[in-house]
A and B are shown apart, each in its own frame.
Chain A
Amino acid sequence: MAKSKSAYSVSTKKEKSDTHIFVLWVANEAGVLARVVGLFSGRGYNIESLAVAEIDAKKNISRITIVTTGTPQVIEQIKLQLRKLVPVHKVANFKREDKQVIFKEMALLKIVGAKSKIDKCLKACKNYNPVIIDKTKKSVVLQITALRREIDKMNSKLKPLGLISTSRTGAIAMTRGAEVFN
């Protein structure tokens, strides 16, 4: 679009963006995920990955983990906006580089091919806690848990070896040590 004279506000230069992981404790009720996700899309924040499940049936609490990128100002806004949502009990956020926090993703990989290729695959995955969940003469379904970029790497590495289908979760996070986040 041509630069209009009537553009009242001109966007200014951007700060550096960081990747952050948000962990939310929310009431497990209808529409709560839509509220959280709608906040992101409505305000123009992006979601790289999302993981959500109930963690306490008695207290009716679900835990949502969202990976997002943004400038420090945007990350702060996301946190404060999330805290305003009525069914959101608690919000924590961590930088992806934070050594005190464990991040994990899980992937299911279906590999079809000769035994030699499947063995190669298993070997390639050995650092990522591979578990064979299903096995036939010419196929295997493999479960691995690793970081996002590691799964990305495996994904491309195993393609020539017979990887035909990948299914993966969003990241989940937990702090190291005895403390829990408050």
Chain B
Amino acid sequence: MSKLYSGAEIVFKCLEDQDVEFIFGYPGGAVLPIYDELKNHPSIKHILVRHEQGAGHAAEGYARSSGKPGVVLVTSGPGATNVVTALTDAYMDSVPLVCISGQVPTHLIGTDAFQECDTTGITRPCTKHNWLVKDIKDLPKILHEAFHVATTGRPGPVLIDIPKDIQFAKTNYSKPKIEKKLNGKSHNKFSQTDIEKFIDLILKAKKPVIYSGGGVINSGPKASEALREFARLTGFPITSTLQGLGAFPGDDDQFLGMLGMHGTYEANNAMHDCDLLINIGARFDDRITGKIDEFSPYSKKVHIDIDPSSINKIIKVDLAIVGDVNNVIQASIKAINKRDKNLKNSNKEKISKWWQQIQKWREKNSLGFVNSNETIKPQHAVQRLYELTKNQDTFITTEVGQHQMWAAQHYKFDKPNRWMTSGGLGTMGYGLPAAVGVQIAHPDKLVIDIAGEASVLMTMQEMSTAVQYNLPIKIFILNNQYMGMVRQWQELLHEKNYSESYSEALPDFKKMAEAYGCKGIRVSDHGELDTKIQEMIDHKGPVIFDCHVDPGENCFPMIPSGKPHNQMILGPNDQEENKITGKGKSLV
């Protein structure tokens, strides 16, 4: 008879078999047996966070920067409810997480026991799937299935709720066979006919645009390479969603910049005027499409996505190819080469007029801003940060708000998995714990959280985690004393009624850094910015960098309420121009 293992031992045996190296967690009564077992498994390192939400975001940062699933371990009740925000965030942004939560013993379930909550009930809408383990015999199979569900198809979070008595109970353990077929839920069966139809559209297009998204990143580094080859081969202009940044080099001439609400003028106009729109691994989010009725009205639309429910959800498309981005692009490249060896040259001519038009849009320089010699403009701060870090492999996380959009606009990424931001859920407080997770996955790399002072206060406690594990993360705070994006909307859309968007009594971030036992740097003088940034980069430990920026700055360009892509508000430079022409017109 084979040896019997306790539930807690089985948890670790499964984690070992899944090659898990790190778990992010926080102990509590209902997971104590698992924590007790931790010491016997030296290949798995536990990272103790300061709040379970931090564990979830750290695991997200780990997963997104490494391509491996992030593992979270929390206790029952408040442990589980605290991780809900991170699970929802991971669900929205398709991040593979495996969350193990403790639960009160089975005989106490349903009795309102101490630290009991209906964890599987609460997390059902924010996970791909979840399990309450009621029988120890099911535990090994469920754990392995959980990893399978989290990482296949469109990735996402899963949760396994393990009652305390199950953690003590004993059973056999055998490495379960990996089930290939999971209810037909793997979708990678696109047909060659679809690919040929796709090529037909490519060959016909005169005004094409590629719109790539987070699916390319999720499909692995090979998908980014394939995307680059595909773009080179076709010569098509390419734009990216917030999550897709890095799949294509940000400083490349073929790249139009990010699209959508705060996207560039050229990207959004190209989306509006194109005759072929190729969506690769994106989901027509409302921040991308603007007004649906007037979204890209003249184009044939192709949608490549691994999730069949993304197709025709928001925008009806002419050709849908359901499959893994990497496989679909590889197949398309093959088919193009077979059909038309000379496409690269013949295409260039066909779309040259289109490129001329794009060049005209580019001349607007929509990311431009009026710089100052006195105050630090936030865009300038991001640009300087980029210039001073672009020579090394840098990982950027962000919080949510104006600083996030400025980071997306002005920091140019040239590799995938270097950009971790909360897009779908828009979780303030994401960036700092995510940076912790990224640094765990890449201990020797430079990891920077471009933050706002309001967001970063939501999960500031994780600085303590960074200090404990000596993680040299840099928290680059663009401090404008406002919830900047809220203030911007209030200025533009609510008659400057700045209701509750000003943060009074902000902490002294430099002293706060010192209190946590790390380095604090403050800068408010334009002339000092570069040396201070360099000082931050050169410091070996964690740093909180408090950069005081112009509090009145707005994030442009912007597609205003319910408007299509070609009706953007541009920055102050352009607005002044418009005003003058307006007056000029009335004089005529």
Chain A bound to chain B: yes
Contacts of A4 in B (CB 8 A): 493, 561
Q: How far is the CB of B78 from the nearest CB of chain A, in Å? A: 22
Which of B90-128 touch A at CB < 8 Å?
120-121, 124-125, 128
Which of the residues A30, A31, A80 comes within 8 Å of B308, measured between beta carbons?
A80
Q: Are B129 and A86 in contact (CB under 8 A)?
A: yes
Report if A77-B309 is in contact (Cβ < 8 Å); known contacts: A6-B494, A10-B562, A86-B183: yes
A73 at the interface (CB under 8 A from B): yes
Which of the residues B129, B132, B489 comes within 8 Å of A6, measured between beta carbons?
B489
> CA separation between A42 and B88, bound complex, in Å?
13
Contacts of A76 in B (CB 8 A): 312
Which of the residues B183, B287, B494, B561 comes within 8 Å of A89, measured between beta carbons?
B183
Which of the residues A34, A73, A84 comes within 8 Å of B312, measured between beta carbons?
A73
A149 at the interface (CB under 8 A from B): no
Which of B298-314 touch A at CB < 8 Å?
307-309, 311-313
Q: Are B125 and A34 in contact (CB under 8 A)?
A: no
Most buried by B among A6, A85, A88: A6
Q: Are A7 and B562 in contact (CB under 8 A)?
A: yes
B185 at the interface (CB under 8 A from A): yes
B291 at the interface (CB under 8 A from A): yes
Chain B residue, CB-CB nearest to A42 = B125
> CA separation between A35 and B561, bound complex, in Å?
35
Which of the residues A9, A12, A87 comes within 8 Å of B286, measured between beta carbons?
A9
Chain A residue, CB-CB nearest to B183 = A89
B454 at the interface (CB under 8 A from A): no
Q: Are B293 and A30 in contact (CB under 8 A)?
A: no
**Interface residues of B, CB < 8 Å — how many?**
31
Which of A58-101 touch B at CB < 8 Å?
73, 76-77, 80-81, 83-89
Q: Are B125 and A38 in contact (CB under 8 A)?
A: yes
Chain B residue, CB-CB nearest to A35 = B124
Which of the residues B134, B185, B286 comes within 8 Å of A8, measured between beta carbons?
B286
Q: Are B312 and A12 in contact (CB under 8 A)?
A: no
Mark each residue of chain A from 1 to 19: 1 if its CB lies under 8 Å from any CB of chain B, else 0: 0001111111010000000
Total number of residue pairs linking A and B with CB closer than 8 Å: 65
Chain A residue, CB-CB nearest to B310 = A80
Q: Are B293 and A12 in contact (CB under 8 A)?
A: yes
B544 at the interface (CB under 8 A from A): no
Contacts of B489 in A (CB 8 A): 6
Contacts of A8 in B (CB 8 A): 261, 286-287, 561-562
Q: Are B312 and A86 in contact (CB under 8 A)?
A: no
Q: Are A5 and B286 in contact (CB under 8 A)?
A: no
Which of B13-47 touch A at CB < 8 Å?
none
Contacts of B129 in A (CB 8 A): 85-86
Contacts of A31 in B (CB 8 A): 120, 124, 132
Chain B residue, CB-CB nearest to A41 = B125
Mark each residue of chain B from 62 to 87: 1 if its CB lies under 8 Å from any CB of chain A, else 0: 00000000000000000000000000
Q: Are B124 and A10 in contact (CB under 8 A)?
A: no
Chain B residue, CB-CB nearest to A82 = B309
> CA separation between A76 and B261, bound complex, in Å?
28
Contacts of A35 in B (CB 8 A): 124
Most buried by B among A8, A9, A30, A89: A8
Which of A1-60 touch B at CB < 8 Å?
4-10, 12, 30-31, 34-35, 38, 42
> CA separation between A38 and B120, bound complex, in Å?
12
Q: How far is the CB of A70 from the nearest CB of chain B, in Å? A: 13
> CA separation between A73 and B284, bound complex, in Å?
15
Contacts of B312 in A (CB 8 A): 73, 76-77
Q: Are A6 and B493 in contact (CB under 8 A)?
A: yes
> CA separation between A8 and B560, bound complex, in Å?
7
Report if A77-B313 is in contact (Cβ < 8 Å); known contacts: A30-B132, A86-B129, A86-B183: yes
Q: Are B561 and A5 in contact (CB under 8 A)?
A: yes
Q: How far is the CB of A71 from the nearest CB of chain B, in Å? A: 11
> CA separation between A135 and B307, bound complex, in Å?
56
Which of A137-180 touch B at CB < 8 Å?
none
Contacts of B308 in A (CB 8 A): 80, 83
B182 at the interface (CB under 8 A from A): yes
Which of the residues B307, B311, B561 comes within 8 Å of A7, measured between beta carbons?
B561
Contacts of A6 in B (CB 8 A): 489, 493-494, 561
Contacts of B134 in A (CB 8 A): 30
B467 at the interface (CB under 8 A from A): no
Chain B residue, CB-CB nearest to A5 = B493
B457 at the interface (CB under 8 A from A): no
B292 at the interface (CB under 8 A from A): yes
Beyond the given pairs A10-B561, A31-B124, A80-B311, 6 more chain A to chain B contacts, judged by CB atoms under 8 angstroms and listed by A's residue number, are A9-B291, A9-B292, A34-B124, A38-B125, A83-B309, A86-B182
Q: Report the 9 A-B pairs with minimum CB-CB distance, sorted nearest first.
A: A80-B309, A6-B493, A10-B562, A86-B129, A5-B493, A9-B286, A42-B125, A80-B308, A81-B309
B residues sitting closer than 8 Å to A (CB atoms) are 120-121, 124-125, 128-129, 132, 134, 149, 182-185, 261, 286-287, 291-293, 307-309, 311-313, 316, 489, 493-494, 561-562
User: What are some 28 contacts across the A-B interface (CB < 8 A)?
Assistant: A4-B493, A5-B494, A6-B493, A6-B494, A6-B561, A8-B261, A8-B286, A8-B287, A8-B561, A9-B286, A9-B292, A10-B562, A12-B293, A34-B121, A38-B125, A42-B125, A73-B316, A76-B312, A77-B312, A83-B184, A83-B308, A84-B128, A84-B185, A84-B307, A86-B183, A86-B185, A87-B183, A89-B183
